[in-house]
Structure 1
Amino acid sequence: MREQEYVRSLFAQEDEVLKSIAPGLDERGMPQISVPPEVGKTLYLLASLSGAKRVLEIGALGGYSTIWLARALPADGQVVSLELKEEHAAFARENVTKAGLADRVTIMVGDATESLATLVDKQEKFDFFFLDADKPNYPHYLEQAITLASPGAVIAADNLFQNGRIFDESYQGPSPVTIRRFNRQLAEDPRLESIILTIGDGLGVCRVKK
């Protein structure tokens, strides 16, 4: 869309590290599903404006959004990123290191449900969350994020339009069906104040009420 291209050209220029991630994904046969630059910049601004110091990301892939988030944090801030596949985590670490952010990023490899349970058991708390992993588990990830949230924490979630599939009820696959339900939960959950931004493939933004 020309509006998104316009916004991207003015407000979301990539540096050389960020530009190198897409070709690197291709070289490794990994999916091209990183957020677009304008969503990365939005995440950066949201994390920065919220004053976040601890961020939990679910879904690292090549570390594209991880870098945007880590750059928004103070020097003593920390991003914990959950990634299912070791090969993705290794590439993400490589890119985070290139960006000079290795001291701000920890990547936990394994099933996100198990990693989240570990964080809950440790009574960890986070100020900002970004959900960008397997869509059928979004409702579970949201519940765990609320459990792990500091008062007033921000939760962002990507791909809430499912490339338009949520608007057509003939799409009954697990992802669009779950995301329709998830979007309604964002709108109705009394613990949250929420909106979906019409940027990228639909970016949900929630504030956990204090």
Structure 2
Amino acid sequence: MTQEQWDSVDDYFTALLTPADATLTAALRDSETAGLPPIAVAPNQGKLLHLLAQIQGARRILEIGTLGGYSTIWLARALPADGRLVTLEYNPEHADVARGNLARAGLDKIVDVRVGPALDSLTVLGAEHAAHPEPFDLVFIDADKANNAHYLRWALELTRPGSLIILDNVVRGGAVTDAASTDPAILGTRSALELIAEHPKLTGTAVQTVGSKGYDGFALARVLA
């Protein structure tokens, strides 16, 4: 299949199974207007996150990498009324855009946007978790790829047996197979995948996808007892 055919299939799936949503469309529009990079998940990928959170029965979700809040909205909409989502964003301007998008979606009361380097925010979350253990049922990792393995280790600390961890953008345009790469994003992604393969408390897999954003993919890991 050509890229044009892949795009056509992606567009067909999206139009049929992910109908237009004014709130989500506005979130993308405001993100673009604010100059955020166009790297949000695709609509059909957002719907997949939503379904995974529902299937998981998630009541508490951690997202590492907020951007404009597009994926945050998809995930938060899967939560029950008393659910909670914590999302970590490095860039204060991006966080402001996300807060606006979440408020318009009516989700600002259940979503906590925390600003700063994610590893710093995770250290704070770790201290909070030690004092008042409230594990996350689902963790979505979609931030700087160099720190993927660090994020995955923190996800293990902050979850429970049965929790689901999702790691986005693992294909890296096919470069993930390059064992000699010195690219920090490739090194971080490979380290995270190796951790999933080797850690006794994790079982998982990874899949590659092709669509309107080219070759991509994600890894899924479940926390074992």
Are 2:138 and 1:128 aligned?
A: yes
Q: Which amino acid aligns with 1:96?
A: L
* TM-score, normalised relative to structure 1: 0.93
Corresponding residue for residue 217 of structure 2: 202
- % identical aligned pairs: 42
Q: Which amino acid aligns with 1:203?
A: F
RMSD: 1.6
Q: State the 1:178 CA deviation.
A: 2.1
Corresponding residue for residue 198 of structure 2: 188
Counterpart contact for 1:4–1:199, Cα < 8 Å: no
Counterpart contact for 1:152–1:207, Cα < 8 Å: yes
Corresponding residue for residue 31 of structure 2: 25
1:72-119 per-residue CA deviation (whole Å, 9 max, x = no partner) reads: 010110110011111111110111111111111110111111110111
Which of 151, 174, 184 is equivalent to 1:174?
184
Corresponding residue for residue 5 of structure 1: 11
Of the two, which has the highest radius of gyration? Answer: 2
Q: State the 1:70 CA deviation.
A: 0.4
Q: State the 1:168 CA deviation.
A: 4.6
* TM-score, normalised relative to structure 2: 0.87
Q: State the 1:170 CA deviation.
A: 6.7
Corresponding residue for residue 55 of structure 1: 61
Which of 93, 110, 113 is equivalent to 1:107?
113
Q: State the 1:171 CA deviation.
A: 4.8
Query: How many residues of Structure 1 are paired with residues of Structure 2 in the alignment?
Result: 210
Runs of 4+ in 1 over 4 A off after TM superposition: 168-171
Q: 1:21 to 1:170 in 2, by over 3 A?
A: farther
Which of 43, 47, 54 is equivalent to 1:41?
47
Structure 1 gaps of 5+ residues are none
Q: Which amino acid aligns with 1:139?
A: A
Are 2:77 and 1:71 aligned?
A: yes
Q: Return the alpha-carbon distance in structure 2 between the equivalents of residues 74 and 144 of structure 1.
A: 25
Counterpart contact for 2:148–2:191, Cα < 8 Å: no
User: Matched residue of 1:102: which SS?
Assistant: coil
Counterpart contact for 1:79–1:105, Cα < 8 Å: yes
